[in-house]
Amino acid sequence: MATDSLWQEVLNPQARIAVIGECMLELSMDDSLATPQALSATVSYGGDTLNTAIYMSRLGLNVDYVTALGDDSYSEWMIRQWQREGIACGLVHRYRASLPGLYAIENDESGERYFHYWRSQAPVKQLLATAERREALFAELRSYDVIYFSGISLSLFKDHELDALFAFLKTYCDRGGVLAFDSNFRPKQWPEFERARHWFSKAYQLSRIALPTLDDELCLYPKQSSDGAIERLKLGKRKELIIKKGAEGCLALWLDQCRDCPIDETVSLVDTTAAGDSFNAAYIAARCQGQDPVQACKAAQKLAAQVVQHKGAILPLDKMPG
């Protein structure tokens, strides 16, 4: 059973981490190669939880990615790339006659990103579709020390599937498993905000490590002030709560501690893709390696600062901070 101090018996360098979510094919538009007859784009892959899994693996953690793909060559290619990053793919389910989701990404001059999705039939939406699939997956997940997912992960599933997932997670946490959750709220994926509030609240109630972004919380609760959002996030059983505030740094709350963690360096913003995803990975990695929450926030800010100074979600290996 994990303790309420630092949960050292669970958060250690050998911890087994399951990351649940969706990864899609990514089209990055290249205006320099466009012609009057055609656009030009580079094909890659991306997804918030997959980004986090890659950075976790690069930082020395034992990570399994939990998702579903098709039986096509694009899905096979993605799995090979993830395995080259050191991610275990034994829980990547493959469904016949399916294709992975697809999105196109654009960046404006400030580095802010915009997405266009083709994902309504993505195979990951079938991951919890039957009782048999749910029971088989939950049986596998019981052996993991940490389960990580995001609000985007939750948006993939129907309410009865989420009911089953949270029933499993309640038992998992009661037995000492650590749940880590990043809200990562995307309005287009939650047409009914009240539904998102319901499921996010359940996730926060169970989470040992909560990693919300303040701007996302203010979007989800538009009538709430920043102070009000922070007080709401603090409700319930005391958790390790790291509130990301963009250029203002982050706020770390744990046990009886509350520390403001400003960003120490000025960065030239190029692309904000995966800023939060990389932060989350580095934070959890630092905690597993014995650093306290403030030290972990500094490590997370260092990686995120490097990520936003480069195009794309994933840094070249030689650009990873030492």
Using the CB atoms, write b or e for 54-79: b if 16+ within 10 Å: bbbbbbebbbbbbbbbbebebbeebb
For residue 179, the tally of other CB atoms under 10 A from its CB is: 21
User: Does the domain made of 50-93+127-319 have the CATH classification 3.40.1190.20?
Assistant: yes
Question: What stretches in the chain show pLDDT beneath 70?
Answer: 1-9, 30-35, 107, 110-113, 238
3-state secondary structure at position 274: coil
**Distance, CA of 65 to CA of 21 (rounded, Å):** 8
Give the pLDDT confidence of 283-304 residue by residue, as tens digits: 999 999 999 999 999 999 999 9
- How do the domains of the chain map onto residue ranges? 50-93+127-319
Contact between 173 and 179 under an 8 Å Cβ cutoff? The reply is: yes
List, by residue number, the catalytic residues: 277
What was the pLDDT predicted at 113? 67
What was the pLDDT predicted at 111? 58
What was the pLDDT predicted at 214? 97
**Distance, CA of 94 to CA of 84 (rounded, Å):** 19
63 backbone dihedrals φ, ψ, rounded to 5°: -120, 135
Give the pLDDT confidence of 36-77 residue by residue, as tens digits: 777 777 888 989 999 999 999 999 999 999 999 999 999 999
Distances (CA, A) of 138 to 168, 173, 270: 7, 13, 40
Output the pTM of the full model.
0.93
Q: Are strands 146-150 and 24-29 parallel, antiparallel or unpaired?
A: unpaired
Instruction: Give the H/E segment covering residue 105.
Output: strand 102-107
